Chains A and B, each alone.
Chain A
Amino acid sequence: EDQVTQSPEALRLQEGESSSLNCSYTVSGLRGLFWYRQDPGKGPEFLFTLYSAGEEKEKERLKATLTKKESFLHITAPKPEDSATYLCAVQQWQTGNQFYFGTGTSLTVIP
Chain B
Amino acid sequence: DGGITQSPKYLFRKEGQNVTLSCEQNLNHDAMYWYRQDPGQGLRLIYYSQIVNDFQKGDIAEGYSVSREKKESFPLTVTSAQKNPTAFYLCASSTTGEQPQHFGDGTRLSIL
Which residues of A are at the interface with B, using a C-beta cutoff of 8 A?
4, 31-32, 34, 36, 41-46, 49, 51, 87, 89, 91, 96-99, 101-104
Question: Given A43-B90, A43-B106, A97-B31, is A4 in contact with B100 using a C-beta cutoff of 8 Å?
Answer: no
- Chain A nearest CB from B90 CB (Å) reads 5
Q: How many residues in B have their beta carbons less than 8 Å from beta carbons of A?
A: 27
A18 to chain B, nearest CB (A): 25
Least CB distance from B87 to A in Å reads 13
Q: Which residue of A lies closest to B98 (CB)?
A: A32
Chain A residues positioned under 8 Å from B60 (CB to CB) = none
Q: Are A87 and B43 in contact (CB under 8 A)?
A: yes
The distance from the CB of B58 to the nearest CB of chain A, in whole angstroms, is 8
The minimal Cβ–Cβ distance linking B37 to chain A, given in whole angstroms, is: 9
- CA of A99 to CA of B33, assembled, Å: 10
